[in-house]
Amino acid sequence: MGGGGVRPELGQVPETALWTLWHRAVEARRPDTVLPDPKAVELVGRIDFPFAARFGENALVSQLQALRAACFDREVSDFLTRCPRGTVVGLGDGLETQAWRVDNGRAGWLSVDLAETAGLRRTLLPPDERRRIVAHSVTDPGWMDEVDPANGVLISAEGVLMYLRPREVRDLIAACAERFPGAAMVLDAVPRWFSRRAVEGKLRHGHYQAPPMPFGMDADQRGLLATAHPRVTDVREVYPEGGRPPLSALLPIARWIKQRPSVVALRFAES
Ligand SMILES: C[S@@+](CC[C@H](N)C(=O)[O-])C[C@H]1O[C@@H](n2cnc3c(N)ncnc32)[C@H](O)[C@@H]1O
C-alpha cells in the first residue's frame, strides 16, 4: 500500500497523521478487521509515501490503534444519537476518517490541525458543507470561533494531547469547558513512562523514531482532569472493546495496570 499521486512533505509532528492512518489502513484491510475503514485504505493508496518502509508493519500496533479509534467512534456515535445535528470537532484531526465511519448524514464535522497537516487533509479530503477544515494550533483559542454550538458539541482530541505541554493540555480543557457549556470531550493519553521515553528520543517503531510527547498521564490519574475547570463534572474512562484473541482476553486484565494508555470522556456542566 502507498504509492499514489499525493506526495506529502511533513515535519516530525504532522507526519504522525500518516502513522495513525497507516495503522488503521493495515488493520482495515484484514478480513477479520476490528475496524472497517475503507476510506483509510483508499487514502493510503492515494499517497506517495513509503509507509511500510518508514513505519513498519506490526499487526498488534495496528489492532491497538484501531481499537483506540473505535473508542472514539463509540463516544461520537452516542453523541450523534443525543444530538443528531451536533458538531464534532476533531482536534489534531490529521487524516482521521471517522467522519466517514460514523457519519449520520446530518452532523457537522470540523477538523482542526496545524497548517501543514490541514493542507494535506484539504487536498485528500476536500471540505464540503458539513465537513470543514481549519488550520490552527489547538493551543490557539481562535479555532473555537469556527464552532457552531447551536445543536450540541463534542470535542474529540484523538492522538494529539501527548504532543502538547502539560500546561497547554490543562489550559485547553479549561478553555473548552468555559466556551462550550454542556459539551462533551473525549481524549486519550499515553502513560508517563511512555511520554518520558519519547522526550528522551528512545521511542522507536522499526526505523521510525516518534517525536517528543511532553504530556503523559497514567490511567489512574484521570481524575486530575476534573481540576482543569469547575465545569468538568464527569470524568469516565472509555475502555477498548472486542479485538481478536489473544488481545481480546488480555484487554480486560490490562485495566488493572495503572501505567497504560487510556481514553477518557469528559462532560462539561451547563453552567
Ligand atoms: C498522531 S496524529 C493523530 C491524527 C488523528 N487524530 C488520528 O487519530 O488519526 C497527531 C495529529 O495532531 C496534530 N497536532 C499536533 N500538535 C498540534 C497542535 N498544536 N495543534 C493542532 N494539531 C496538532 C498533528 O498535525 C497530527 O495531525
pTM of the model: 0.96
Distance from the alpha carbon of residue 67 to the mean position of ligand 1, in angstroms: 18
By the 10 Å C-beta count (0-12 exposed, 13-18 middle, 19+ buried), 221 is classed as middle
Q: Where are the domains of the chain?
A: 72-207+214-268
- Report the pLDDT value the prediction gives residue 139, as an integer from 0 to 100: 98
Does any ligand 1 atom lie closer than 6 A to the CB of residue 147? no
| Pocket lining: 58 vs ligand 1, CB cutoff 6 Å | no
Determine the pLDDT at residue 205.
75
Q: What is the pLDDT of residue 240?
A: 97
Task: Report the atom number in ligand 1 closest to the C-alpha of 19.
Answer: 1
Q: What pLDDT does 2 receive? A: 60
pLDDT, tens digit only, all 271 positions of the chain? 666 789 898 999 999 999 999 999 999 999 999 999 999 999 999 999 999 999 999 999 999 999 999 999 999 999 999 999 999 999 999 999 999 999 999 999 999 999 999 999 999 999 999 999 999 999 999 999 999 999 999 999 999 999 999 999 999 999 999 999 999 999 999 999 999 999 999 998 777 899 999 999 999 999 999 999 999 999 999 999 999 999 999 999 999 999 999 999 999 999 8
Residues 5 and 3: their CA atoms lie apart, in Å, by: 7
Ligand 1 pocket member 168 (CB < 6 A): no
CA 188 to ligand 1 center in whole angstroms: 12
265 CA distance to ligand 1 middle (Å): 18
Q: Whose CA is nearest to atom 12 of ligand 1?
A: 92
Residue nearest to atom 6 of ligand 1 (CA): 93
Amino acid 3: pLDDT = 64
The answer to whether the CB of 125 is under 6 A from ligand 1 is no
For β-strands 232-238 and 262-268, DSSP reports them as antiparallel
User: Is the distance from the beta carbon of residue 158 to the nearest atom of ligand 1 less than 6 Å?
Assistant: yes
113 CA → ligand 1 middle, Å? 6
Q: Is the CB of 37 under 6 A from ligand 1?
A: no
| Ligand 1 atom closest to residue 158's alpha carbon, by position in its atom list | 6
Q: Is the CB of 8 under 6 A from ligand 1?
A: no
Residue nearest to atom 10 of ligand 1 (CA): 160
Query: Which pLDDT belongs to residue 76?
Result: 98
**Would you list the DSSP string of the chain?**
---SSB-----TTTTHHHHHHHHHHHHHTSTT-SS--HHHHHHHHHB-S-HHHHH---HHHHHHHHHHHHHHHHHHHHHHHH-TT-EEEEET-TT--HHHHS--SS-EEEEEE-HHHHHHHHHHS---SSEEEEE--TTSGGGGGG---TT-EEEEE-S-GGGS-HHHHHHHHHHHHHHSTT-EEEEEE--HHHHHHHHTT--EETTEEPPP------GGGGGGGGGG-TTEEEEEEE------TTHHHHHHHHTT-SSS-EEEEEEE---
Tell me which of 3.40.50.150, 3.60.15.10, 3.40.50.720, 3.40.50.2300 is the CATH number of domain 72-207+214-268. 3.40.50.150
pLDDT at 196: 97
d(CA 258, CA 129): 43
Q: How far apart are CA 111 and CA 2, in angstroms?
A: 23
Q: Supply the pLDDT for residue 1.
A: 63
pLDDT of residue 208: 87
